Structure 1
């Protein structure tokens, strides 16, 4: 029963987050009548890493995400890499500024000046970099009249010996090691006990899982309206710009890939499910960019109403193309095409053949061959194409019958 209650609470929170996000509620104008599915795509490699980035505006009226991807840092940090996703709310200004300038603030610390690498010093340098850029933006927001925007941030700083997971807000990063989920960041939600305590100490409240009933996250860059108490330090405000940083020792023989994504992706996937889905897609192509594209498509079809950005970073031990996996995928596609044809015929007799009806029937069936974590939504293109072929064929036959004078 306790597990059921937790799951129900999670679903309610996810529904609320889909309805409105950021500062205050959002009316119908915040969403489009149809999603924008064009993708911003980027791929690159360096320092033994391969990466792909995919971003989609989706149902949102504007694209507020930004990202950074540097497989090799400049100068004396050529053996280091940095990847980040910034999820803006109430405007894109803060997210875009961070994508251009946050890394520079982070590596300005003495921890990056030489060897040996000291994880605790690196973690503190990251923390100080976030605090510095937030102060810098606060000044710019006043002098340049910025919109009252904010942004979450999730990043991974890759050194020769460690992975530094950096999280601020509700975007998330995970590590796949030895074929399974090994680590992921934890979202900064106002309902977390430590976050709630800080919010209440600062004079705020948590209502409907949101800060003052409005903001869905308790830590973010920007959001300066929530950082206005002059006699409180930056980490004691209603919204804190202080990230959580975790250092994990690298395991070159087992580390397969990193995945970073904004909450628009996590609205549709749970952490272990997305890890399994991404790995299953890597086995088909070995291409991190192709995986990003499939994550975005599946996320949209699984119900995400938000902007989506996904970054996949492959280490040398990442899985490559697997012939058995390709064969299983071909067999699954063939099965779905046959099943669509069967259902189309059955529903046609009832006068109820439609793509929605076919999806509803398929969703009611147990099919363990579907991609883990992605489910039927990740095979929407296969089902849709099979249905459209049958529909066009039926229309052509009907048109031919009418042209020949045969009864319909």
Structure 2
């Protein structure tokens, strides 16, 4: 049965559509890709109302907009839900912390407001997912670069967690397993998503889906090229004929996938534990974020999930109910995997109704029609 997620612990459709950079910044003016629903997830398509008679916003408009962006601070609230689906065992894990200062203490992260979320989709057992859930945040905050250089701290923490689990498996071989991992750190207006595998994070910006992660599938051109350069191969969409993801933490027991070089960096094998990161500066246009394991995305496109969740939040404004609603709908659509969803809202109020600006309708009078007909008859 479905179970609620305790409050104490709260994209890109198509895995081959991202650029080559492993760290991307997405601002409100970014150019983004078309998702598999055929909807352009781009703020460029939003309607802009300028001064009457002016083709561009005035200097005053721009200054006001800049001031609003600078003053905006998200009001963080979240909720999550999980379900075993049609599987015999639940291998997902999650973490949901709305207030890092309360959780870790001001001495650890300073006076900045912060939040942390994570979804971990285990395979070949649940131990890797549980280990990452319990240790990844600790390694992030212990890193010397935290919180001044978040991307650097998060990257090293992922790799450190991967190697720590390898050591744990050497002590207890029954722990041998693997997991995908997607984490979200929010500091003030800065949103940082780190991803290894095929969990996905999607930002809702005024009703449009903005991808905040990329699915790491072995068949993706970039991943396949990396895999083959490290001596691996892709067979029918599976890495070395074994895994359906190109990046994961754990899986040290699978022959030929990871090799420990003892240099503290990423494994030199074809299965990578290095996260791909994307960052965004939140504005008033950003309404909520959906984080989900691949079982959700088997049933929803990114835009479909955003549209569905937005309607539910407009009805009840409850992120936990919204997460449950997404899972219940995914089960109706015959997804069979474990399901875990976390919804993070950035405002107190529900998403507003969007005003659709329609072009003016031009009409012609009866007299004009008669004149037109006379003109045509005279030709």
Query: Normalising by the residue count of structure 2, what TM-score does the alignment of the two structures yield?
Result: 0.69
Whole-Å separation in 1 of the counterparts to 2:238 and 2:269: 15
Alpha-carbon distance, 1:213 to partner: 1.9
Q: Displacement of 1:156 after TM fit?
A: 0.9
Distance 1:197 1:155, change over 3 A: same
Which residue is equivalent to 2:83?
56
Equivalent position SS for 1:295? helix
* Contact preservation (8 Å) 1:255, 1:318: no
Partner secondary structure for residue 241 of structure 1: coil
Distance in 1 between the 2:196 and 2:115 partners? 19
**Is the CA contact 1:41–1:52 (under 8 Å) kept in the aligned structure 2?**
yes
| Deviation at residue 83 of structure 1 after TM alignment | 0.5
1:111 aligns with 2:138: no
Cα shift at 1:318: 5.3
Q: How many residues align?
A: 278
CA distance in 2, matches of 1:51, 1:261: 13
- Give unmatched runs, 5+ long, in structure 1: 1-36, 323-408
1:132 CA displacement: 0.5
The correspondence of residues 211-222 of structure 1 with structure 2, limited to 5 A, is 211-222=239-250
Question: How is 1:314-325 mapped onto 2 (pairs within 5 angstroms)?
Answer: 314-316=345-347, 319=350
**Is the Cα contact below 8 Å between 1:80 and 1:158 reproduced in 2?**
yes
Q: Which structure 2 segments of 5+ residues have no match? A: 11-73, 354-379
- Tell me: CA distance 1:231–1:167, structure 2 relative to 1, closer, same or farther (3 Å): closer
Question: 2:285: which partner in 1?
Answer: 254
1:244-296 CA-partner distances (Å, limit 9, x unpaired): 01111121x22211110000111111111111111111011000011111111
Q: 1:245 to 1:321 in 2, by over 3 A?
A: closer
1:344-392 deviation per Cα after TM superposition (whole angstroms, max 9, x unaligned): xxxxxxxxxxxxxxxxxxxxxxxxxxxxxxxxxxxxxxxxxxxxxxxxx
Q: Which moved more, 1:222-231 or 1:289-298?
A: 222-231
> Which residues of 2 match residues 196-235 of structure 1 at below 5 A?
196-224=224-252, 225=254, 226-230=256-260, 234-235=266-267
Distance change >3 Å, CA 231–CA 137, structure 1 → 2 = closer
Match of 1:276, SS state, is helix
Q: Distance in 1 between matches of 2:235 and 2:180?
A: 20
Counterpart-to-counterpart distance in 2, 1:274 and 1:161:
23
The structure-2 alpha-carbon separation of the partners of 1:147 and 1:283, relative to structure 1 and needing over 3 Å to count, comes to same
More helix by share: 1
Q: Per the alignment, do residues 248 and 321 of structure 1 end up closer, same or farther by CA in structure 2, a change over 3 Å counting? A: closer
Runs of 4+ that moved beyond 4 A: 230-233
Q: 1:178-226 CA deviation, whole Å, 9 max, x = no partner? A: 2221233110111122211222122221011111222000100001125
Counterpart in the other structure of 1:243:
275
Residue pair 2:123, 2:178 contacting (<8 A) in 1 also: yes
Say which structure, 1 or 2, has more relative contact order (CA 8 Å, 6+ apart).
Answer: 2
* Cα distance in 1 for residues equivalent to 2:234 and 2:349: 42
